[in-house]
Structure 1
Amino acid sequence: MKTITRNLFTLILIGFISTSIIAQEKEKKNKKSPAEERAEIDKMTSKALAELYKVQPQARNEIANSKGYAVFGNFGMNLFLLSTANGAGKAVSGGKATYMKMYSAGVGVGIGVKKFNGIFIFKTTKAYQNFIEEGWQGGGQADAAAKDNKQGGAVAGAISISPDITFYQVTNKGLAAQATIQGTKYWKDKDLN
């Protein structure tokens, strides 16, 4: 009985903390002008790409030769069986940026909070256009084995979502060992475009 009570208390506490964090993020966002929000997303995009290029140098050429790319800053939580993430980013093609939002929900065992960046690389104009015009919803989970150069071995950090889209997930520790796009929806941010 003590274990159940302790687990329930922990769940309530985590729920309270996560709700508080989300409320603080929304409050911060509400105080910013659209220009400030765009500038913040632009800064996050530059930082995320720099991190990606550091751990996966060939990604620079992939993006340079692509029809477009998209970068999202995400905040994810996993509470026992429920995992969620939300964030913002932008899609870029031919120098034109489209600002977007994302949200995901899924099932996953564990407890934790993490910040990460998701970077999509589009090999065709059609794949890019579908992403920004129709939104996109990831319905599966993709895993990638990722190792840093210090540990040796092959780096397989890119995940092929489809023949036309490659995805990287970068955390503060480098490439994610598991990149998840399960139940994630992306759409244009009407306030920033």
Structure 2
Amino acid sequence: MKLSLLKLALLLALASITASCVTNQGASKADKQQSILEMKNDTLSRLFKVKPHVRGQLNEAPGYAVFSNANVNLVLASFGGGYGVVKNMKTGQHTYMNMGEVGLGLGLGAKDFRIVMVFDSTEVMNKFINQGWVFGGQADAAAKASDKGAAVGGEAVVNGITIYQLTESGLALQATVKGTKFWKSTELN
């Protein structure tokens, strides 16, 4: 099967976006942790500008999580991966985590996005940290590069977790059913 130049360019772009988004920066454990905390702080600052009420929601919540994720859609399959951190608001403790997702559905493109999850209870947060499964459907469109473009993401409440999504960059159109797994990082905790 012969690939067209457009398909080859798209595959290279997808590989590049995925590789740059799935790895956190730094050589040492402390450097990697610091990189994740900087991503968290930057993401929250951006979210507070768009949805100022979220600051109060986080302060009232027992905890929250922030993840960086790269997602690739190739016609009938979707996959992605990333990293992030859960903050327990009562203890101030950070739990560093990884994520991976796979899905089926129609889609084409890639996007780099951030997820903020606000936990309604300590039990929900602990279950998320220790079990980490989240299943769901997704339908969205994103066309964004740096500060240019637009993204339709949004807000959802699933099993006691309010989820916000911010698109960083990418070009994607998708309607997929995904399984997402979050798990503790053995390297960073």
Give the Å deviation of 1:110: 3.0
Contact 1:142 1:159 in 2 (8 A): no
Contact 1:29 1:37 in 2 (8 A): yes
The alpha-carbon distance between structure 1 residues 167 and 21, as it changes in their structure 2 partners (threshold 3 A), is: closer
Which structure has the larger Rg over C-alpha atoms? 1
Indicate the residue corresponding to 1:54 in structure 2: 49
Structure 1 distance, partners of 2:45, 2:24, is 25
Structure 2 distance, partners of 1:166, 1:181, is 19
Unaligned runs of 5+ residues in structure 1 are 145-155
For 1:160, which of 157, 161, 177 is the aligned residue? 157
Unaligned runs of 5+ residues in structure 2 are 141-152
Indicate the residue corresponding to 1:33 in structure 2: 28
Contact 2:21 2:68 in 1 (8 A): no
Give the Å deviation of 1:31: 6.3
Structure 2 distance, partners of 1:85, 1:165, is 21
Indicate the residue corresponding to 1:108 in structure 2: 105
Residue deviations 1:109-149, cap 9 Å, x none? 23212111011100111000001122x222221569xxxxx
Give the SS at the match of 2:31. Answer: helix
Residue deviations 1:24-68, cap 9 Å, x none? 667x65962111111110000001111111111111111110010
* Larger helix proportion of the pair: 1
- Aligned AA for 2:75? F
* Larger strand proportion of the pair: 2
Structure 2 distance, partners of 1:31, 1:157, is 31
TM-score (norm 2): 0.77
RMSD of aligned residue pairs (Cα, Å): 3.2
The alpha-carbon distance between structure 1 residues 78 and 23, as it changes in their structure 2 partners (threshold 3 A), is: same
Structure 1 distance, partners of 2:106, 2:25, is 32
1:131-170 to 2 correspondence within 5 Å? 131-134=128-131, 136-141=132-137, 157-162=154-159, 164-170=160-166
The alpha-carbon distance between structure 1 residues 31 and 58, as it changes in their structure 2 partners (threshold 3 A), is: closer
Is it true that 1:185 corresponds to 2:181 in the alignment? Answer: yes
For 2:115, which of 115, 118, 122 is the aligned residue? 118
Indicate the residue corresponding to 2:61 in structure 1: 66
Structure 2 distance, partners of 1:62, 1:106, is 30
The alpha-carbon distance between structure 1 residues 21 and 171, as it changes in their structure 2 partners (threshold 3 A), is: closer
The alpha-carbon distance between structure 1 residues 72 and 78, as it changes in their structure 2 partners (threshold 3 A), is: same
The alpha-carbon distance between structure 1 residues 117 and 82, as it changes in their structure 2 partners (threshold 3 A), is: same
Structure 1 distance, partners of 2:6, 2:106, is 15
Contact 1:143 1:159 in 2 (8 A): no
Give the Å deviation of 1:80: 1.7
